[in-house]
A and B are shown apart, each in its own frame.
Chain A
Amino acid sequence: MEQVKSKTIRRKRRGGVRQWPLHLMLIPAIVSLFIFQYIPMGGVVIAFQKFIPAKGLFGNQKWIGFENFEFMFGLSKFWSLLRNTLFISTSKIILNLFMAVGASLLLNEIRISFIKRSVQTMIYLPHFISWVILGSIFQDILSPSSGIVNTVIKALGGEAVYFLGNEKIFPWTVILTDVWKNFGYNTIVYLAAISNIDPTLYEASAVDGAKRYQNIWHITLPELRSTIVLLSTLSLGSILNAGLEQILTMYNPSVYSTGDIIDTYVYRMAMQDAQYSLSTAVGLFKSFISMFLIIASYWMAHKFANYTIF
């Protein structure tokens, strides 16, 4: 949404003199974030130490520089972990976007209020079911021998698919089930954005004789653009979190090659010992990648579309 750049005299005076309320309003957030986010950031030094809890946080920990990172990159599995993480995460972001935007557009077209509200409540529900339960439900539904999905596939003449046990299919199982779980929740944001759209735009297009699908394409979607771009960019911030809790409940050693992500691997390591140094190093690595991606998108949007995402 481009900001209107007006060069009235009024603005200049406002800009100079009465900005202080704006600064003042920001103070609580700045202070709170400083105490609870910035100060703890100092703890990343753990990533460069061989951290032993007994010596205390400020104690005499052995400094080992980048050894933790070397260990991480040196793991034969590391690159497959990274690849799996990126693949699953990116697919989730894209598909989630399509489904959420698509669903909100469709919901917007529903005229019967009762159906609209019921449908919206129902698609919202899976969000509340924890993965521990869903994992068990999906295990049943997707079972090659007794699951509903495969029963249908076999009835249609196909062969049973081992959704959770076949390493080629497993990532897609993860992606699609996650989209199913969360798209309802995400439609809320888009619906709120749609309801923000100026109704006169639709009135004007009706006068021009536009059909409904034309409305969607030419009015609704462009108006949603800022929200879509914003949410997508923000999700880049968690691009290396491909869904720890979900994958933990759904994976097994047979699908490690495509389903093991950075977080699940670190989780298994941490169960053995409290591997603080390594998990902090991994966290640092993830943060850097995320930051790089966000800066890159921000810069590109700015340079090529003259648009400030946030």
Chain B
Amino acid sequence: MKKTLAIFLACAMLLVLFTACSGTGSTSTTAATTAAATTAAATTAAATTAATTAAKTTAAATTAATTAAATTAAPATTANAGGSSGEGYAIKFDPPITVTGVRTAVTASMADLPLDDNSWTQLYLDRHGIILEYLWVCDGSQYNEKVNLAIMSGEIPDIMQVTDQQYQQLYEADLLTSVDSAFYDYATADTITCTTEQGELAYEACKRNGELYAIPFVTLVKENAHVLYLRQDWLDQTGSPNPTDLASFEQILADFANPDLGGVNFSICDNKNMSFFKNVVCPMFGGAYTIWIEKDGGLAYGAIQPEIRDALAQYVTWYQNGYIDPEFITNDGPKIVEKIASSQIGLNYGPFSSPLSGWTSAAQLDENIEMSYFTIPTVTGGMAKMPIGTGIAGYWVASAECEHPEAITLMINDFIDKFYLSTSEEDANTYIDDITSGLALWQHSYCRSYRGFKNYQQSIDVGQYLNGQLDYENLTADSKGVATRIDQFKNGDISTWGWNEIYGLDGIFGAVEQLIKNDSYIQTAYYGAPTESMGSYNSTLEDLCIETFTDITVGKKDISYFDTFVEEYLAQGGQKIQDEVNEWYANK
């Protein structure tokens, strides 16, 4: 009896094995069925068919005229924004088309809302007749890996976002279709204005032989450049000068290293990657650690230039003076945040969003806190030029099989419209953030690209609101949320302190504005695809840099070692990469 039972169990197990194997992994969404129902009821009014032809450039031009008037270096003002006027957006496919995509998951709190049936998918369907179908959804941490696996198995969706390396590989393998006309013919003027606010580099970087094969997911580079964060209450206590040049900066370092202020005897809290050195001290000396610069008619990498040597020499002195946390070699991001939050250090750096992290915790715990923000000074007194990259967060590509690559552009148009231009509350609650539930509904959008100076503009608008010059109603929906939070802070709610620091009057954008108005940036001179040698040698070279700089800083090696370091760097692959980069540069 037991024997038969056992044999039965074994067979059952084998059966389980085989049935599971033959099971089909069904990942198709229900969008297909809902779409079928809607096609029958789709509005096929003559108006929309006419709009498909008329809407292309002419209508877009008329709305553009009003917005384009005030846009040269300054960002488009919201007062003139067309909002969802319908023109320029009304290209509709009839019958509806299906577009496949893949994406990262939304945050866990929104997991209850179906990804294939929400306000954005409805918008795509209603406006453009686009049925969006996701082949799979993956957590952000594994997204790139999963895309690679999909590419390897030949399962490429119509539209997806990829990295620069993936873009290059797909392009070289002829797996993409050109999106040049798909973009330029279908993008609204608003879209182009918004995404080129920081310049055209992002689009240049996407071109292959002068033609776009990917549409850049434009993100912030200029307005989120680093500025200095200083505790004004500490400055008042010590009577230190403002950091306008090297001497005054050093004075602050010396003054802030006082244990009476924060309980520690250092003022700079750097981390194991020497981020403070790279992002603050290097620009101070005119160095551009992280990018390629033009030099002697060619391109060279910033980290091995003489300016870095000067910066390092200064950093060594500061270390010897005890201004730098001796435990920096084991510090990581959270550790630095900890020191900020517990008011141990009063000086740091960061982009405009940092008040919301460690500094907010500091504000909750220390009621004396007052912040001041400064651009990073040069040695002699002036504004340091901040090194910035291409400002591309990802590349939107269309597979060779994709019949309607313009879907990317249409979706981006929608995003720009709802996110940056619309002032309607209803739009805000449906497409951006739902006030009642607090859910970030904008995550349901698929193809996106950001407006370069959105936050800068926001700070201007909110500032005008706070000054009474602008009505609450005329703020974009997004800005309304910000304004509300600042009002809460003014009424005594400390938890929204950070929002006031960013967008309020006397906020951080005072410093950021300086950078923007003076265009105090060095943009990377290399914006081609990652070269072959980069993949092989980059991590070794990075290691070399950081190990050398750390050793020099703590005194294990003398600063004179820097020249040997440069030779080492070039010998271990740096020269190969430089040659490849210069080849690109020559043929540009």
Interface residues of A (CB under 8 A from B): 24-25, 27-28, 31-32, 35, 52-57, 71, 75-77, 136, 139, 143-145, 162, 164-165, 252-254, 256, 265, 268-269, 271-275
- Residue from the list B175, B334, B547, B551 in contact with A54, Cβ < 8 A: B175
A25 to B6, CA, bound (A): 9
Nearest 9 interchain pairs by C-beta:
A54-B169, A273-B535, A252-B272, A54-B173, A254-B329, A253-B546, A268-B539, A53-B148, A164-B330
- Total B residues in contact with A, Cβ cutoff 8 Å: 45
Query: Is the beta-carbon distance between A28 and B329 smaller than 8 angstroms?
Result: no
- Residue from the list A71, A136, A274 in contact with B165, Cβ < 8 A: A274
Given A52-B173, A54-B169, A144-B327, A254-B550 contact (CB < 8 Å): yes
**Residue with the greatest number of chain B CB neighbours at <10 A, chosen from A35, A55, A143, A254:** A254
- Residue from the list B14, B148, B154, B538 in contact with A27, Cβ < 8 A: B14
The DSSP consensus for interface residues of chain A is: helix
- Residue from the list B17, B152, B172, B550 in contact with A56, Cβ < 8 A: B152
- Residue from the list B7, B539, B554 in contact with A269, Cβ < 8 A: B539
Query: Is the beta-carbon distance between A165 and B539 smaller than 8 angstroms?
Result: no
A162 to B535, CA, bound (A): 34
Does B170 have its Cβ within 8 Å of any Cβ on chain A? yes
Query: Is the beta-carbon distance between A57 and B153 smaller than 8 angstroms?
Result: yes
Does B71 have its Cβ within 8 Å of any Cβ on chain A? no
A-B contact count (CB 8 A): 94
| Complex contacts, A274 vs chain B, CB 8 Å | 144-145, 148, 165
Q: How far is the CB of B335 from chain A (nearest CB, A)?
A: 7
Given A24-B10, A53-B152, A256-B543 contact (CB < 8 Å): yes
| Complex contacts, A269 vs chain B, CB 8 Å | 539
Query: Is the beta-carbon distance between A28 and B17 smaller than 8 angstroms?
Result: yes
Does B534 have its Cβ within 8 Å of any Cβ on chain A? yes
Q: How far is the CB of B259 from chain A (nearest CB, A)?
A: 12
Considering the complex, give the chain A residue whose CB is closest to the CB of B7: A24
12 contacts between A and B (CB under 8 A): A27-B10, A31-B14, A35-B21, A53-B148, A53-B152, A55-B173, A57-B152, A139-B332, A165-B330, A253-B272, A256-B547, A272-B535
Considering the complex, give the chain A residue whose CB is closest to the CB of B147: A53
A254 to B273, CA, bound (A): 10
| Complex contacts, B535 vs chain A, CB 8 Å | 272-273, 275
Query: Is the beta-carbon distance between B153 and A52 smaller than 8 angstroms?
Result: no
Query: Is the beta-carbon distance between B169 and A52 smaller than 8 angstroms?
Result: yes
Q: How far is the CB of B316 from chain A (nearest CB, A)?
A: 15
Query: Is the beta-carbon distance between A253 and B547 smaller than 8 angstroms?
Result: yes
| Complex contacts, B572 vs chain A, CB 8 Å | 76
A56 to B152, CA, bound (A): 4
A136 to B539, CA, bound (A): 25
Query: Is the beta-carbon distance between A28 and B327 smaller than 8 angstroms?
Result: no
Q: How far is the CB of B30 from chain A (nearest CB, A)?
A: 31
Q: How far is the CB of A62 from chain B (nearest CB, A)?
A: 12
Does B320 have its Cβ within 8 Å of any Cβ on chain A? no
Considering the complex, give the chain B residue whose CB is closest to the CB of A269: B539
* Contact indicator per residue, chain B 161-180, by CB within 8 Å of chain A (1) or not (0): 00001100110110100000
Does B540 have its Cβ within 8 Å of any Cβ on chain A? yes
| Complex contacts, A75 vs chain B, CB 8 Å | 540
Does B536 have its Cβ within 8 Å of any Cβ on chain A? yes
Considering the complex, give the chain A residue whose CB is closest to the CB of B172: A54
A29 to B415, CA, bound (A): 52
- Residue from the list A27, A57, A144, A268 in contact with B543, Cβ < 8 A: A268
Q: How far is the CB of B557 from chain A (nearest CB, A)?
A: 12
A71 to B572, CA, bound (A): 12
| Complex contacts, B539 vs chain A, CB 8 Å | 265, 268-269, 271-272
**Residue with the greatest number of chain B CB neighbours at <10 A, chosen from A35, A52, A136, A144:** A52
Does B322 have its Cβ within 8 Å of any Cβ on chain A? no
Does B50 have its Cβ within 8 Å of any Cβ on chain A? no
Does B13 have its Cβ within 8 Å of any Cβ on chain A? yes
| Complex contacts, A35 vs chain B, CB 8 Å | 21
Considering the complex, give the chain B residue whose CB is closest to the CB of A52: B169
A25 to B11, CA, bound (A): 10
